[in-house]
Amino acid sequence: MKTLFDDIPTDLPEELHEILADKKHVRIERIVSTGHASPDGFWCDQEECEWVVVLKGEAKFLFEGYDEPVHMKPGGFVNIPAHRRHRVEWTTPDEPTVWLAVFYKD
Amino acid sequence: MKTLFDDIPTDLPEELHEILADKKHVRIERIVSTGHASPDGFWCDQEECEWVVVLKGEAKFLFEGYDEPVHMKPGGFVNIPAHRRHRVEWTTPDEPTVWLAVFYKD
């Protein structure tokens, strides 16, 4: 049985998004970052809501309006309402960061 | 930041279900098993679809009609369509098994 921790690339030109389930009201993705972050000054503004957890590695996640990012470690999760502007400030360059993301509509 | 791996009970009379997100079309739960399994001869038949992953521990999961359960280890996941009868044959008694379950409607 393939797991979320198999076939983790260690060096990626861009963040990797893999769709695990694509249903009428929900899409589940594995995301792998290898040191990726949102471009400077860029805020992500999504049509969909996203519930996302870090399963491996580490990340710093920032909602617009906050001064300090949240340091996410394995098991740390956040819910992002649609159009709630946010960015990933940092992911650890020392190992891949594996996220599990559940995208849904309100 | 609280994580999915914090506050894991080690001995539970019944499997623990904690709702992490409860939205219009999706519900996300952390489930903790400490050696729990489905009762003998019982098949789980759910109104909702469920995408579920083992994050810690181990489980043996069986769909009706198959002879052998799937041995799920951390990162192993399965999608269970609504009304697809299934059961959990075993979870390891040596450590808690932490599941992340996404329930959704078709």
Q: Tell me: the pLDDT tens digits for A18-75?
A: 999 999 999 999 999 999 999 999 999 999 999 999 999 999 999 999 999 999 999 9
Q: Which of B49, B102, B105 sits opposite A102 (nearest CB)?
A: B102
Whether the complex's predicted ipTM is more than 0.90 is answered with yes
Give the pTM: 0.96
- Mean pLDDT taken over chain B: 96
Q: Which of B20, B72, B102 sits opposite A26 (nearest CB)?
A: B102
* Cα B83-A21-A91 angle, rounded to 5 deg: 140
Over range B15-22, report the average pLDDT.
97
Report the alpha-carbon distance of residue B93 to residue A92 in Å, rounded: 34
Report the alpha-carbon distance of residue A100 to residue A26 in Å, rounded: 13
Over range B24-34, report the average pLDDT.
97
Confidence of residue B106 (pLDDT cuts 50, 70, 90): confident
User: Mutate which of B2, B8, B50, B55 to test chain A, going by most A C-beta atoms within 10 A?
Assistant: B55
Over range B36-64, report the average pLDDT.
97
Which pLDDT score is estimated for B11? 86
Nearest CA to A100 out of A25, A13, A14, A16 is that of: A16
Tell me how long chain A is. Answer: 106
Query: Residue A5 burial (CB < 10 Å; 0-12/13-18/19+)?
Result: middle
| Chain B residues whose beta carbon lies within 8 Å of the beta carbon of residue A24 | 105-106
Report the alpha-carbon distance of residue A76 to residue B73 in Å, rounded: 20
